[in-house]
Amino acid sequence: SAAAVGDYANAESAADLDKVHLASVYLATIIGSVTCTGSLVAFGKLDGRMSSTPMAHPARDQINMGLGAATLGAGAVVMGGPEVGTGLAALGGALGTSGALGWHMTASIGGADMPVVITVLNSYSGWALCAEGFMLDMPVMTTVGALIGCSGAALTKIMCDAMNRDILSVILGGYGTKASGGGEAMKFEGEATQTNVDETCKLLMESESVIIVPGYGLAVAKGQYPLKEMVEVLRKAGKKVRFGIHPVAGRMPGQLNVLLAEAGVPYDIVEELEEINDDFDSTDVVLVIGANDTVNSAAEDDPNSEIAGMPVMRVWKANQVIVMKRSLAAGYAGVENPVFLKDNTDMLLGDAKDTCEKLAAGCKALA
């Protein structure tokens, strides 16, 4: 945005700029502004500095339409080729209204959809770069921007399919998945039971098959290295250990795969949802680490749930489930997880890295 405004302000004769140049300046300005403010809000929500719940303003759609109309109106003035003063005023107005639009639209989207929003914003940044390439007559910049924009769009499609979400609904702050009903979500009653490290180590060493389902909590805690140590101990003891990765585990596709590869976890024991989801029935122990929405049975059991129809890891079908989390709080979707209340589920609360270190040490002692 700054480069676009600067290019326009320093043009020898702004009124004589051709339409392609003017369009490039305008698009680079508004796309860059939307990306900047939207990214700040997304960061705030993911980092816990802002509430993950969507901002449900009663006039949300009207505000979006008003800001959009103002941005388009300013664009029409810029495209008319006015003198530099009028053009800068219109460009500045478009910069402000598009920035407000990016902030408001992202704030109106729930934390559960932030992974999709990130990929959309990533795509936007590419198209802004592409527009700047046209503006500066730099084919390399245009090509790189187009590649980033297209890859971001493709990643967004993958994310939406994995979450059973409609991209337009996400961007406009829509509620629920494509399969969500219109009624009230089910209320789940019961009390979660807690366990400790010693009992968990004993359970793991007595089992024959173990599936580990990591989530964003593992990434935040950077617990992949002690987890890998624990897996090595279990495998040396003759246990069948595998990892089950949900398509949107973490904040974007592949994040958990990269973390596990970084720690040296063998590729052949890391499986995707489609490959491993039917194996939970015959699994002794499932260890869920920092995952919540991706293992929520409400997606299949409650047609009115906000995540209804979303593909999830069916961890609750295993003989025993151990869920490692910092607390019993709901995930980014804000949906209560009935898996925590099931008879075959125990909660192991605490920091993922610290707990994994204790589990690795405990399993070594029992090996």
Q: Which helix (H) or strand (E) holds 106?
A: helix 84-107
Which tokens in the block code for residue 215?
């989530």
DSSP 267-325: GGGEEEHHHHGGGGGG-SEEEEES--GGG-THHHH-TTSTTTT-----GGGSSEEEEEE
Residue burial 301-330, b: 16+ Cβ < 10 Å; e: rest:
ebeebbbbbbbbbbbbbbebbbbbbeeeeb
Considering 216, 235, 267, 326, which one is annotated as catalytic?
216
Which tokens in the block code for residue 175?
């509620």
124 an active-site residue?
Answer: no
Among candidates 95, 116, 107, which has minimal Cα distance to 32? 95
26 an active-site residue?
Answer: no
Distance CA 260, CA 346 (A): 24
Among candidates 241, 245, 358, which has minimal Cα distance to 311? 245
Considering 60, 235, 251, 326, which one is annotated as catalytic?
251
Which residues fall within 8 angstroms of residue 365, CB to CB, at 6 or more apart? 201
Cα-based distances in Å from 118 to 2, 121, 150, 166, 252? 22, 5, 14, 15, 8
Contact 91, 8 (CB under 8 A): yes
Contact 95, 131 (CB under 8 A): no
8 an active-site residue?
Answer: no
**Dihedral angle, C-alpha 285, 291, 297, 303, nearest 10 °:** -170
Distance CA 68, CA 60 (A): 12
Residues that are catalytic: 216, 251, 332
